[in-house]
Each structure stands twice: as structure tokens, then as C-alpha cells.
Structure 1
Amino acid sequence: MAATADALRGTALDQLQSEDQARLFDVIDQLRSQGVGRLLGEEGLPQLIVCGDQSSGKSSVLEGLTKVRFPTKSKLCTTFATEVKLRRGFKTEMRARIKAGFSRKEDDKKRLDKFDESFSSLDELPALIDSARECMRETTGASANAYFEDVLQVRISGPSLTPLTIVDLPGLIHFPNEDQSDKDVDFVSNLVQSYMKQQNSIILAVISAHNDRSNQIVLKHAQKIVPDGNRTLGIITKPDTLPPESEKEQEYLDLAQNRKIEFEYGWHVVRNRNYETRDSTNEERDRVEIEFFETSAWADLPPSEVGLGIDTLRQKLNKMLLNHIRLSLPSIEEKLHSQIKESEVQQQKLGKSRETVEDQKKYLDAICDRFRDLTADALGGIYSRNTFFNDDEPYIDGYEKRLRAVVRNRNDKFAKKMHKKGHKWEITDDNERESGNRSSLLPNPELISRTKFLEKVVSRLAYINRGCELSGTPNVQLITSLFHEQSMPWEEIATLHLESVWEAVETFLETVLNHLTDERTYNGLIYYVVDPIMESRRKEVKNKLQELLTPYKHYEPINIDPQFSCIISALQQNKGTEGTTEASKNQCSAKKNENPLFSVPGSDSNDKHAYSYAVDVMEAYYKAAITIFINNVAILAIEQCLLRGLPGILSTTISDMDAETLKVIASESEVVKSKRIQLEKKLEILRGGLDTIRKINPRGKSVISLSFTGSSFCPTLYFPKAGVGLIIVSGINSIMILALTSSRNPKISCLYFKTLIH
């Protein structure tokens, strides 16, 4: 049965909204009507959780706030969470359903899902809660006091309701008894703490003045989970049970003034019905409460520090809820900005509608211009001019966009690898130890002593390269053969390097086009432009490498550097003493040498001197040649063949395209047309939402009425610009101005304080 439009008018639920809140929620409704309500989200809506020990008066507080009678039978406690969700709607509607607990069997879940009741008056809510309890107990055989992880969700909507959730939770149990087991104690504790941990929960920590403060578990949980107390309001019930002028009364008077346990919203004191007055009307209940606070020690407390009575509690909650929503506006505005920016990027990718060939060419020309600029900046190492390069994590996510950095870093690695692994043999002095093969992706040079190198390698090459040279003089062919073999790894290392740089360029081009175009255009440009050009350049680079290798693979070494002969002389002088000693040894033991190459005619010590000289010349030439080769690969292969003219590859190719190819690349599918329309609508909605927020929050300014402790202490929070804030606190007798250095993680310092009444 649907509720009537007047069902909530004048009720306490309707009164949980001030005039300021009404204006603010009108704005929020406007945002929802504009289609950006999801930015507010259910999680962002405030949630009041009423929690406390058993018999602390939780349900009575809830009843006093809402004027709705919750079950408060003396022998029947709250055994499951009840979420009363208040939402704004065009019409008044009240419905209740059960959300089955996680551990329920599928059959039970289906049965509980069928519990879906509508009601027309808040007076029906107590009976509905009892009905839900019986539904949960059904088929389980549980007792009347059994606890359930199921949640009763009551949704009440109306034109003037504050959008929040009020949660009534089971009371915390101190010790197990005949009706409540150890399992029940843990269940309730975990349930209450799970709600406390939710960031949108404002904790109403209810304690009974009838019991010792130190024994009330709810305070321990609240202090542990929210140690700074920034979303906790303490509520003291049953103040009428305190003996007048007793130590216990004084203890609670001090507690209420935020002296013992500090909460940001301070403390509030309410007097609920007791057993004798359980049947009194709401009006009688409120009258008795007012009389009690006017005639007891509580009347002496300053109202700026302590809130007294259910009516002032309702006013305080009004301000707390208003703060919660208004403080979320900057984050909503930030989300709107972010989504507008993201949508504009997507819209730019899609471009304007392009039905004709001329429209398609204009669309591609615009892409060419932006592609040229981005690619030129990437090659020039200019990364600060465009946000395309400024990723939050450039070392992880955006590095491939910085093409010049990628190429330079890979060139450096190539040079190091050439110097480390570009030679076939690592020729060492005779006193250095040789080592075996070392594991690596590329083979390491063979470590060999100079003596063994002369015996095993040079003598073999000399034997097969003998010409018309005089005995003891160097053979040019021997030097050539030694160099050709020593430089054999160059080709493999250079090939791997060029392939690596080619892949980096290809990745960059794909990344740029993905940034600039939609999927259809991206695929077309990759297929018709990028792939053919990159394959052509790959072949060009491979051919260039063979050209660069030809002098070192097929021709005699040539060096016209006038310093080259000086380098040879220096090498000879350094090895002079060693050479003489070695020659003497060889001369004395020539007949004993087991190497047949050293036993052939002409293999005397003079020839060995020539072999050693040939090695020196080869090593000197190798050092000069490898530097030239490395530079040639970087300049003539990579820069000239791979990177040359890269910014203009699109415009050059597209200018020669026929109309049919242009249509394939630049025409838009029905999906793209539909997406453009959706984006235009989305941007209109987002900009409208942003404009709506700016009307109440111009230039990032936010004025927020807060109530921390009492009923008349009302600071105002003012943000003249992002990250800078002023808090103007006006009390009954004083005014204070505070500086807020950060609106997200507030750090407050006092700038000004003045007493108004002396």
C-alpha cells in the first residue's frame, strides 16, 4: 500500500532537515536530475549508526529522534541490524525488505528475498520489525533472542527528506549468559565494529548513566576505530538515575563537557522514557525531559559546551549532516572536472561529424598536425610542452612516449654491449687467469692469454695466409683475418639493437595514434600508413647495417689517422721487454715446441715477432674501428634511416590517398556516431552539474555551519581558494579566527581571538 503525500509531513523524520539543508539538497536533486547523481553515490551519503551496550537506551534515542516506536520490550532485545534509509523522492513511499546474510543457504536467501512489504504510516514500523524477525527465524528453529546477520532495510522516500541512513544495531554484550553465548558476544561486537569502520558513518555512541563509564564497551570500540573522534558524537542516557550531587553525577557532568573523553562533535544528554512512563505520548516524554534539565544540575552547564534534550540533538544532527554533504561538494566538483576533461579528450579523438570526403580529409589533416607536433617534441626531447608526455608515473607508464629518451638510452646500452661483447677474444697478459664460458644471452668473449693466442690462433691464420712477404715482416692478410674474426659479434649485437629501436619507434607511433584517434581511424592509419612505412624502414635499416659492416667484413683495414702509427709504437714499447724475454725463451725451446705450425720452415723467432706485431696492429685498429661503427649505427642507421622525417609520415602519405582509402580510414561507423551523440549529452550534463555547484560554491568557496559540542557554538568554514581556509568561530561571549592550511588534512592555528563581554 503506497503512503500518502502527507504521511511524513510534520514528523520528526521530516524535521531532520533545516532550511539550509533543504536548499543544499535541492542542488543535489538538480545534479541527479542532470544525470550526475552517481557522483554522489550511496557511499557518500551520511549514515547515522546508533550503537551502545545492551540496555543503554539506543532504541529509545532512535525513537526520540524519529518519533517512531522501535521495539523496546524488556525481554526482547535488538537482534539484527535495521537500516532506515531516508531518500528524497517526488512521492512519499515506504517499503521494507530483508537483505539475507552471507552465510544463508540459497533456499533461505530466496525465501528472505520475498519479504518485501510496503506500509503507509510510520506507526506500522514496529510491527513490521517484529514480522521481519519472525521471517528470519522461520525454518531455523532459533529462539526469540537469536542473532541474525540478515539486515532489515527500510526505505522511506519523500519530497523533503534528508538523504541519510539511520542504523539501529544490537546492543554490545559484556558476558555470555543463558540466553546469549560466546558466539553471540563476538557476533555483535564484529557487527558493530564493521559499521563503525565505514567512512560515511557518523557514530552515535550511546552510554547509560546508570552504569559505570569505564565498563561501557562502545566507548572502547569508538576510541579504537576512530581515535581522533572526528566522526563520533557521544550520547548520555538515563541521567535521571544519577543520585543528585553524587560523585557519579559529577563524573558524568565532566564527561558531558568533553573533558574525560573527547569527541569532535562532543557529547549530548537525553532523558528517555523509563519503565513507569513507557506508555506516555511523545509530547509527554518531551515535556518531562525539558522539566528534568531545567531543575537538575545539568541546567548549570553552558549550552555552548553541552547539548541537552532530544530537540537540540535533532538540531545538532541537522548541522552534522549538512556538513557531511557540503564537505563532499569539493570532491564532487573535482570529479566533474576530471570527467569533463576525460570526455573532451574522447570527443577530440572522434572529431566533428564527417560525412563527405572533404570532412574526412579535414579530420585527418587535424590528426596529422597534432601527430607532427607530438612526434617532433618526442624526437627533440621536449616533454614539458604537452600533457601527453606528463604521466603521473613516467618511469612505469609513460616512458615509451619519450622517444628521444628511449633511443638514447638504448644507444648507450648498445655501446656498452659492443665494448663488452663485441670482440670474439679477450686477449689477456700471460699472468692473468683464463676462464670458461660465462652464461649470457649473447656469448661472452673467449678469455685467452697472449701466448696461447699467438700459438693457437695467430699461427694458424699465419700458416694459411702466407704470401710474398719477407721472413719476419708483417703480413697484411694476417692482420685482416685477425680483425675479421675478432669483430664477428658486431653484426648480431647491432641487429638486435636496431630491432629494439625499431620496435620502440613502432610502439611510440601506435601510442600517439591511440591518443589522437578513435579505434576505427587508428586501425586504418596503422594498416595503410604506419605498417607499410615501418616495414620499409626496417628493410632500409637492415640494408644500411650491411653497408656499414661491409668494410669490416670484406675489406682490408684502412686507417688514415696520423696518430695511428704512434699508437702502434707505444704498444711496441710497452711490450718491448716482454717481447725480448719471450723471444729468448722461444729460441731456446723451438725444437721442443709441440705445435706443428711452429715446426714448419720459416717459423723462427723473427716470424713470431711479426705475429705479435700483427696482434698489436689488429688491437689498435679494432679500438678505432669499433667507435666509428657504433657512431655510424646510431647516426647513419637509426637517425638517417629510421627517425628521419618521422613527424611528417602521416601528412605525406595522406595527401596522396584516393577518396576510397580516405573513406575507409576516416569515415565513421554508426557506433562512432552514437558515441559522439552520447559524449555531447554527457558533456552537457557534466557542465550543467559543474555550473550548478559553482552557483553555491563560487571560486572554490565553501561556507559551512558546524556544531561541535553545544547547541550555540557555531563555527563557519570559509575557503577563499583551494587548500587555504579560514574558520570563523562565534560563540556567545567571544569570536575567534583560525587558519586552515589544508582542507583535506586540516591543520588549524589560531590567528585572532577576542572576548566580547568582560
Structure 2
Amino acid sequence: MLTKKNSDEAEPEQTLLSTQALDFCHGEQEDYRIVMLKLEAQIEADIVLAEPALLEKIDRLFACNVGEYINLPQLVVVGDQSSGKSSVLEGLTKLKFPRNSGLCTRFATQIIFRRDPSLRGRKISGSIISTTHKIEKGNASWSMSDAESLNEADFESLISEVSEFSKRMRVKFNCSKVHKAMGLSTSAGDNLPTFSSDVFRLEIIGPHENHLSVIDVPGIFKTTTPGLTFKSDIALVRDMVLNYMRNPRSIMLAVVPANVDIATQEIIEIARELDPDGIRTLRILTKPDLVDEGAEEKIIELVEGSQDSEELGWVVVKNLGQKDLQDPSKDRDIAEDIFRHSPPWNRLSKDNYGIEALRARLQTLLASNVRREFPSVRSEVLKRLKECKRALEGLGEERESTEQQRKYLLEIVSKFQRITENALQTNYGSQDAFDDEPELRLATLVANRNALFSDEISTHGHTYAFVSHTHDDDSEDQRNRSVASLANSVCSDADKFESEEECKSIPSRKINSCSDIEDILHDCVPIQDSQTQGTLAWIEKIYRESRGFEIGTFNSTILSSVLKRQSAKWPSFAEGYICDVICVVHTFIKKALTIICNDQRLGQNILSFLLDGLSDKYRQALSTTNFLLRIERDGTPMTQNHYLNSNLQKCRQERITSAAKKSSVSVTYQNGSSGECVPLSDLTQIHHMNNMEQTVQDIHDILKSYYKVARKRFIDNMCMQAVDFYLVTGPEAPMGLFSPAWVYDLSPEQLDDIVGEEASVRRKRKQLKKQLKDLESGRKILV
């Protein structure tokens, strides 16, 4: 009687279907039990069980699904449909497999025999080992109780019940109860699959069972059954069978009917292709009673000839025919023994004939295979376990709940702040990332751009070159070369230039824009070099166009006019400079997030949520730049710096000295020294200028002196206020936006949008966690 029971503790990958102690030792079967016990005792006298503990460990590895991840030693029964595989399994298990149900085998079945002397009879239990991609929690188990035997109807009912479980797991299958558990098709037109990749695990424990484990897979077929199988099923089953046969640790039991042309059997061809030496292929001939008269010798020669080779050879198995199956009094083992004594089959060695000879061969093969492969299996389990842990670590901490997500994001903030602190303190030796990613050397990049900005404005920031009364052309050329060299150190590769002589204009930007903030940045514009001629003529023109009724002086507004014109290139230099530093900072933030997160998507999510706040910070720096430009160029010229007067006195002295040198003569003094002297009569000619020339010269000297003060002040203010305060180290710097306070202000929905894992990552994590659990169970088994 079958009953369904709920169970919250059911394993997700394996739902148990157990039968309570199915005992063949009761009632009318008592005589048969005695016969079987005697027969089994005689067989066991000739069989030496090898390494039962190792065999049990391998079976337990299968049970905890380790076979999904590594190849395990196993015996695999393969063959075409209707080759007699099910009959062979009946002989091995002493169970009646369902027949006449459309298809016999639609999923892999692992049959495990285990000895337990404490039992009076056999205990049979079944379970489904689900494939990795179908990880769902089952909440039901099935059991069979009050059953004295497991007849065909009971066994078919059990198989059928397993299928119902697989249907709930969206795995589809058929053979009454296993088929329903696996969700397989049970009737034409139900749109359910016919075959499943799940494994049905059937464990038979008894006081006289020998340790053995065999896997039966669906038979290969070439013709579809209308309403039940389709062309896609042909390829599906073939791939499933090949997957088991390709396992280098598997021993293939190739079942072939003796009444067909063996040389043309597809399963034999596949086995020969995968195992050309035949060292892991045991061939099983069934249906010898159907061999045409006269063809028996060929079969016997084939079987006996294999004994002299390194191949595993052949075993002949005689099963009950269709007519005998209808007669309950027919005993399979007795019928097989009677057939063996009939000529010419009586010439076969007992090692090559019968189900018990097959059982003995299987035990020996499995034991030696397990003993040989066990060390490598253990090594591979440990290796895969290590790889699985590394893969899980690569996914980062699990972050499904709001608390997990917030904690994870706070850890990223902490790492970001640490790398920012090291970058600003030039502590580049603290992390390898600074060597691998030059964009992270924030302080150095900003300092280089500061220096370039200062040098460019000092060298090229004025519209007209000031009149110089000293011979400093060599120093000016050296400055030009220095500016070009410094520019190359901060420019993007595409924008590098060798020297100012090769450029008729100077690019305002030296670093390529970041695409995600390009809309708030200024474009790169060419800046023309300063004009070296016509400075005094230009000032005279301004004076003539702006003069009033002043006597011996000039209107103070003229200074503002000439200063604004002389500093006309400052906005382009300043805007290019501030935009470059913004790009340096933004690139640093992006690169740091990418390195810290180890996940490009996560880094992009954080940046996307930060972008509005970052853009506001950048706009503030741009606004400060415009503010400083307005003060210097549009405001009232003003300074309390004594350097203005020093500059002015120096400028006038240089002009007088330069003029005096034109009238100087060389003299030798009484003490023998020499020098330059200017006759007093010539001094009056040095200051000989009309009112216009004197005023223009005064405007030039005052402009030159004040321009130097304003230029240095402007450079310092740009570096300290617009850049350092608003972009680098100040409290308003963009890096400070990504902080714990920002994280705590996020809503659960925002946290999930930022930190929540993608569906693919969640699936991968779930699979890896299951794999880790299975492999960890396997490791414990192998200890």
C-alpha cells in the first residue's frame, strides 16, 4: 500500500522513496528462499569481496551527487532498446521490472547492492538524485509498508510515484510512479517529456547481498514512437548514453542480442570508438536461445576467442522469453542453468555464461576499478572543492537581504576611502593597484596638471608679449621647452606634442573627456600663442580710444581694459585645466570602484547613483573657476601686495638702464679696473619722450607689474580653491560623497538596485553553494 507523507526536511536534490524491509522470506515463497540462499551461499564461496568499504564510499559519493562534478568509477549498462538490458537487470536484482509500458527505461537507474547481516530479508529503497540545474525543495516523501514482496505491480507503482516528484520540479518523465515524480509523459498529447537526466537510485540491502553497483541508462533507438517519442528524443538519449560512456572511469556493459549481426550493432561501434583497446568494455550477449540454428558456433567462437586478449571479453546471459514470462512457475535461474547444459552452449566456460558469472565479473571489475581510481577521485574532489570555494569567493559576499546589501556596500565604502587616502598621500607602495593602474596616482596627476597650468599661463597666458629691456631670450626658449615636456607628461597619447615651435596653437585640454560627464565639460579649443610685436602700439590705440581730459596721467579704467584684453586667454587655459582635473578625479573614482568591486556591473551601479551628486561637485568647481575669472578680469584691479611696487620700480629701472647703455663708454680707472660710464650731457636725452609716449610707457609698466601679481594670484586661487578645495582634498571633494552617510540614506529599493545580484549571479551562487555542499559531503566521505 502506497501512502504519501509530508516532510519539511526533504533534501532539495534527493527525495526519498523507501520501502520498508521487503522480505522474501514469508509465506508461499519460503521454499524459493531456501533454494536461493543455498545458491547464493555456493556463489559466495567462490567470490572474494574486494574493498567493500571503498565501494560503499563511491556509492555514497553518487548519492550526494558528487558524480555531477567529477567522473566516478562505475559500471554502466548500455545497449539498444529491446536488447535485453532490463532482463539482465532483473537477473541481477531479482526484481521484476515493468514491461509493456511503451518504453522500459527513460532515465538512468543506479542499482546498489549492499550486505547487512543484521537484516532477516531484503530492504529496498529508492530515491531521485536530481541534476544540478533543478534545485528546488521537495516537501513530500513516499514509502511502501506492509509489503511482503515487491512484485511487478508494486515496483511499477514505486517507479511511477517517483515521476510525480519530478513533475513538481518541472523535470518531465513515464513508468507509472517514477515517471510521474520525474514529470514524464504518461500518455500521448500530455506535452510532457519522455526522458529525464535525473537518476533513480535503487538500493537493495540484505543479509546475503554482495557489494555491487550498476547504472542502467536508456537504450539507444533510431525510430520514434508516435505520440510518445520524437526525433529530438533520439539525440537526447544518445547524448545521455555517450555522456556516461565517455567517463574514463566507467566500465561499459554493452548489452547486445545474440540473434543479430553483432558487428553492425551501434552500441558496439560506439564502445570501440571510445575504448579502442577494450580495457573497460564488458560485452554481454543476450537471447542466445533465439540464435538461428547453425549460427551457434560463430557465437561460441566469439566468446571463447576473447579470453586470449586484453579485452574484458564476453558473457552470455539467458533470460526468460516472452512466453515464459507469463508462467509464474518458471524460474529464471533454473531455466538459464538448464540451457547452459544443452549443446553447443555447454562448451562455454562457466566464467562466460550466466547471470551469476556476470555478477562475479562485475564485482571483480568494479572493485579493481574503484581501488585503482580511488586516490585520483579523492584528489579531484579536493581540487574541485577548492575551485568551488574560489568561485564563490569571486562572487563576493551574498547580498540578498537589505542588511546584507548595506553591510556589503559599507565595506566597499571603507575600501574606497582607504585607497583614496593612500592616493592623496602618495602612499603608492601600500597597494599593488597603484602600480597596475596609473590613473589611481591621483595626487601626482593633479600636481603635474597644476604645474603645467602655471607654466602655460606664465608663458602663453598674455595676448601681447611685454616689452623687455633685458636679454632673456635664452631663458624664454628654455621655459617653452619645459612647458612642452611637462605637457607631454599629462597629455593623452593622442594629444602629445614635441615643442611649441611645432605647434602654432596650444590645446586647452590635455586629457580626454569622460563620456558620462562630457555634457558639463568644456570642449578642447586651440589657444593662439602670444604676439611678440606691436605691444606699445596696441596700448597706444587703447589709450587714444579711451583718453579723457587727464593731464600727465590716464584714466584708471584704461588699466581694466588693457588687463582684460591681455588676459583674454585665461578663460581657455583655466577651463581646460579645471576640466582636465575633473576628468582625473572622475577617472580615479571609476577605476577605484572597478578594482574594489571586482564586478563591473556593481561598480557601474554605484557610479550611476553617485553621478548626479558628482556632477554637482564638478559644476561647483567650474562655477568657482568662472567666479575667479570674473574677479580678476572684470573686477576692479586691486592688490595689497608690495610686489606690485617692486615690479614697477624694477621695470622702470630696466628701461632707464637699457637706454643709458646706448650712451655708455668704457673707461679704465686709476686702480686699473674698468667699467661703463654715461656722460652727464647724455642723461637728458634718456628721458626725452612726449606726453603720449610717456603715458603709453607708464600704462605698459603698470600693466606689466600688476599682470604679474594678478597672474600669480589667479594661478594660486585656481589651484587652491577650484581644484584642491572643491575637487581633491577639501570637504567638498567628490570622493567624500561616497561615504557611510550616503549608504545609510539609501532606501531598501535603492540598495537592491545598486548591490542586488543579477538573476544569473544568484543562480550561479545557488548552484555553487549546492556544489560546495555536495563536494563537502564527498570530502567527508573520503576522509
Q: TM-score, normalised by structure 2?
A: 0.43
Q: TM-score, normalised by structure 1?
A: 0.44
Please say which structure displays the higher CA radius of gyration: 2
